[in-house]
Amino acid sequence: MTLKRFLIFLITLIHSVATWSQGSTNRAYWAYIDKYKDMAMEQQEKYKIPASITLAQGLLESGAGRSRLATEANNHFGIKTPGGWTGPYILADDDRPKEKFRKYRSVQESYEDHSLFLLKPRYQRLFTYRITDYKAWAKGLKACGYATNPTYAQSLIRIIEMYSLHQFDTRKPSHKFIPPISPTHNARGETGRISKHYLKRLSRNKIKEEKIPPFFRTHAVYHCNDNYFIIVQEGDDLATISWATGLKIDELLEFNDLTLDYTLTIGDILFLRKKHSKGAKEYKNQPHIVEPCQSMYDISQMYGIRLKSLYKLNNLSPHEYEIKVGDLIWLR
C-alpha cells in the first residue's frame, strides 16, 4: 500500500468511525431516512431545527435505528437523564460505565425531546444560523458540547451530504410533497416506461393531494443523476411496484442491474428509469471513497450509474478485483 493510499485509508477510517461503527449499510440508512424524514421535517416546522441535522443525528446516534438505546428505549439521540428528567431510563456504557439514558414510549417522543433539548440556553447560538446552513449547525453542536467525539461535526456533515439530507431543509412533511401519480392521467410512454416529464412531476408537488393513490402516499420519489428512484419499504415486491408504477418487472430489473431471483430488501434503492453511464457533473474529478460494507453495486445505486459502466470507468473487472475500504472509485 502506497503512502498516499494509506493516508486516504486512515482519513476515511477516522471520518467513518462514528457513522459506520454499528456496521451499518446504505440500505439501513436509506430505510431510516425514508421512515423518519417526515418526523424530522415536522420538528423543523415546529422548532426551526434543520431536518437534515435531526436526521443526521438520529442516524449517527442510533446506528440507523439499530442501537440498543434505539431498540430498547426508543432513544435515537443518545440523550442522558440529567437536566430535570424524571421519566424512565436505561443503563448503558458511554463515557463512563452504566450511565443513565432517557427511555421513551415512542420514537416520536424521542424526536420531540431532542428538539426541546436543543432549545436549552446552552444551544441558543445555533438558532442564529440559517436553517439551511447545516455545516454551521453541525459545527455548533460540537462546539456547544453535544458530543465528545472530536469528529462529530464532520460525521454529521458527511452523512448529510452523502444522503442529500439538506433537501429536507426546504421541504414540507410528506402530505405536502410526496410525489403523486394521478389515476386520471396516462404516465406511461409508448415504450411502457413512465415518462421523464411525468416523473419530474412526481418528484414535486404538482398534483392535488386527493389524487394521490395509496402507493405514493407512502413512497416518496427522489431525484438523482437526472433519474428518479424510490426506497423499498416493508411489504414491497417487484410485482407490487410494477403494478403501482406501470413499469414491467423486466424494466425494473434492467434499470437496477438486478436478476429475477433477487429478493427486494427494505431500504433498497429502486430506479424508475435506466441509469446513466456516468455520474452527475459535480462529481468530475471527485471520486467516491469506499466505506466499510460497501460494494460496487451499492455505489452504482447511490450515484445512479449503471454497474457495468462503473466498472468500466475504473478499469476494473467484477471477477478480478474486490474493492476495499479506502479505494477511490471514479464516477465520471
Same domain, 160 and 77: yes
- Confidence tier at 51 by pLDDT (50, 70, 90): very high
With beta carbons less than 8 A apart as the criterion, state whether 301 and 64 touch: no
DSSP 211: G
pLDDT in tens, 54-68: 999 999 999 999 999
The parent domain of residue 213 ranges over 178-261
pLDDT in tens, 248-278: 888 999 999 998 888 888 888 899 889 999 9
Distance CA 19, CA 25 (A): 10
Q: Does any domain span residue 322?
A: yes
Q: Does any domain span residue 274?
A: no
Residue 106: per-residue pLDDT: 93
Distance CA 156, CA 121 (A): 22
- Confidence tier at 241 by pLDDT (50, 70, 90): confident
- How many other CB atoms are found less than 10 A from the CB of residue 94? 13
Residue 312: per-residue pLDDT: 93
Q: Does any domain span residue 272?
A: no
Least confident of 74-78, 172-176, 188-192, 298-302: 188-192
- Say which CATH number the domain at 323 has: 3.10.350
The mean pLDDT value of the chain amounts to: 79
Q: Does any domain span residue 273?
A: no
- Say which CATH number the domain at 86 has: 1.10.530.10
Domain edge (last residue) among 109, 139, 170:
170
Residue 262: per-residue pLDDT: 87
- Confidence tier at 200 by pLDDT (50, 70, 90): low
Same domain, 135 and 67: yes
Q: Does any domain span residue 271?
A: no
Q: Does any domain span residue 267?
A: no
Same domain, 17 and 161: yes
Residue 242: per-residue pLDDT: 86
Q: Which of 163, 199, 156, 160 is nearest to 181 (CA)?
A: 199
% pLDDT > 70, the chain: 78
Distance CA 261, CA 43 (A): 41
As given in the structure block, the three cell numbers for residue 28 are 439501513
Residue 195: per-residue pLDDT: 55
Residue 148: per-residue pLDDT: 86
- Confidence tier at 240 by pLDDT (50, 70, 90): confident
Domain edge (last residue) among 226, 261, 296:
261
Residue 203: per-residue pLDDT: 55
Least confident of 14-18, 68-72, 135-139, 269-273: 14-18
